[in-house]
Amino acid sequence: MGVTVDVHEVFKYPFEQVVASFLRKYPNPMDKNVISVKIVEEKKDVSTGIIYRKRIAVCQNVVPEILRKVNILKVPNVQLEEESWLNPQERNMAIRSHCLTWTQYASMKEESVFRESIENPNWTEFIQKGRISITGAGFLNCVLETFASTFLRQGAQKGIRIMEMLLKEQCGAPLAE
């Protein structure tokens, strides 16, 4: 089956400031679930100027304790891999992330884009599509997908609030129209 989560937000800050805030968003006291984020690969294509980054995030396992009775869910941490392609010239950054934990039972993938807003070139549009599907857990598939969907929606909203807070701290009030 599977569940999807779509997010769309416009940050009233320039693209460069939004991307810089995104890249230093975690770890953050506002979201204690993200323990660490480490860049494992970074390279710049000299012909296009595109900067490629691969990061690994270690997050606390947020599966409710009652569901951790299932042996495979008893892990303390979950790892996520994020790849990004930053094109400073075209003012966009594409991001793909997926879960490295429980891959034989679950698939969690997100695709996101930061780009200059069509409404205002000093604003930045953020679009994210996430999909989670769980297999091999029998009757728990639907329960786990429902939990994951709720967690993903709440996580996306929390991430947006953290970005807004960081932007306000680092850049001041949002830009007006």
Contact (Cβ atoms closer than 8 angstroms) between residue 95 and residue 110: yes
Tens of pLDDT, residue by residue over 99-115, are 998 787 778 899 999 99
CATH number belonging to the domain at 2-171, selected among 1.10.150.20, 1.10.20.60, 3.30.530.20, 3.40.50.261: 3.30.530.20
Tens of pLDDT, residue by residue over 133-173, are 887 767 777 777 777 788 788 888 889 999 999 999 988 88
Kindly report the pTM of this predicted structure: 0.88
Alpha helices in the chain (DSSP H): 15-23, 140-171
Domain locations in the chain as residue ranges: 2-171
Tens of pLDDT, residue by residue over 130-143, are 998 887 767 777 77
pLDDT at residue number 32: 87
